Amino acid sequence: MHVVFIEPSFPANQKQFVRGLRQAGAEVTGIGERPKESLDDDVKRWLLHYEQVPTVVDAGRLVDTVRWIASKKPVDRLETTVEAHVLAAAQARETLGIPGTSVRTAWLCRDKPAMKDVLREGGVATAASMGSGSVDEIVAFAHTVGYPLIVKPRSGAGASGTERVDSDDALRGALERAGVGRGGDVAVEEFVEGHEGFYDTISIGGRVAHDFVSHYYPNVLEAMRTRWISPQIVTTNRVDSASDYQEVRALGQRVNDLLGIGTSATHMEWFFGPKGLRFSEVGCRPPGVRTWDLYSAANDVDLYEEWALAVLYGRTGRPLSRSHAAGLVALRPDRDGRITHCEGLDEVHRRFGRWVIDAHIPPGGTPTQPVEGGFMANAWIRMRHPDYDELRSMLSTIGEIAQLRAE
């Protein structure tokens, strides 16, 4: 089977999807924006061919490129795993008659207000929301729903460009920064109080084949705005045994049905609080922050190959073991500048070394990245443990004793 894969080397973990496809028996042609010479040796070895294009988000350019590739060797699948590339890939698929995620599904997973409209109409609870490029319309919505509100890019992913606002003045300031009234368009939604997590799947023909539940500590907006916090992402191994997750799983399946998600990785953000369970963002692509590495380590599988088997043959290879919980703790520098060292690493290794999956501690002299850069922007440690609560405790302790210093 011949698969065209968009952007095989950026971000860095994209190469793992290519590896998974090759291990599952596919021949892989890559399309990307970087010159072939910039690909690492592994990617070059795994690819049958590579085509450089000016941009991978131009559906017309993708159509022309994939059509040319197909003239040399028939194309069975066209796949991508990056949020910003999903819609263009779907448009190219439909034009060329290649199976995969539809334009409707891709558009709904990119346009957050439209997605929430479909989910609410189908009985899946979400925050009240709207999308608009009109200041007056948004202010009227705010007066109807009430503060606080969340303002975010209409087709954004994660917390990038997201602001919480608590007053008319703060709202107008956020809209000004987003260019609303000057051609900008944003999604605005009710702020949902509660704990934040996410539900991820590999789905085949619309049915969930593998699934995972993960938690943020603290919620993402707080984590991405507060330097002293060492935030965590933790995936639980209690998905099958804890009754609390059954509503999440049931609604996740309902989301697949409503959005028309077929054979794809999915990523669904949720909140649970005083108003019950609310779904937030939904993507027909894997989660970010290399979370699939945690899922693989926690479940004794190669999830990249499992995804490839689903895409290629409509099946998975092996069941999930649920043997471990797994998590990441991000370490932030104490100030902006250049990293000098990280205190406490010897104690971390002595106390918890047997449970560490991997870690990244930048060498001295490395420029710091802003706090809002994300969980892997500076330093991080990833771990697994058979007991979820024990893992949470270890990650919290590491956040206290491992201190990243800068000057």
Domain 128-190 has CATH 3.30.70.3040: no
**125-159 pLDDT, tens per residue?**
998 888 899 999 999 999 999 999 989 887 655 55
Question: What's domain 195-406's superfamily in CATH?
Answer: ATP-grasp fold, B domain (3.30.470.20)
Q: What is the pTM of this model?
A: 0.91
Residues 194-197: contacts with CB under 8 Å, at least 24 apart? 194/271, 194/272, 194/273, 194/274, 194/275, 194/278, 195/219, 195/271, 195/272, 195/273, 196/220, 196/269, 196/270, 196/271, 196/280, 197/269, 197/270, 197/271, 197/272
* pLDDT tens, per residue, the chain with 407 residues: 999 999 999 888 999 999 999 999 999 999 999 999 999 999 999 999 999 999 999 999 999 999 999 999 999 999 999 999 999 999 999 999 999 999 999 999 988 889 999 999 999 999 888 889 999 999 999 999 999 998 988 765 555 678 899 999 999 999 999 899 888 889 898 888 899 999 999 999 999 999 999 999 999 988 988 899 999 999 999 999 888 899 999 999 999 999 999 999 999 999 999 989 999 889 999 999 999 999 999 999 999 999 999 999 999 999 999 999 999 999 999 999 999 999 999 999 999 999 999 999 999 999 999 998 999 999 999 999 999 999 999 999 999 999 999 99
Strands (E), 116-274: 129-132, 149-153, 163-165, 186-190, 195-204, 207-217, 232-235, 264-273
On the CB side of 324, CA atoms within 13 Å amount to 19
Out of 3.40.50.20, 3.10.180.10, 1.50.10.150, 3.20.20.80, the CATH code matching 2-100 is 3.40.50.20
The answer to whether residues 91 and 103 touch, using CB atoms and an 8 Å cutoff, is yes
Domain limits of the chain? 2-100, 128-190, 195-406
Q: What does each C-alpha distance from 135 to 128, 160, 190, 368 come to in angstroms?
A: 18, 21, 17, 36
**What is the crossing angle of helices 86-96 and 59-72, to 10°?**
50
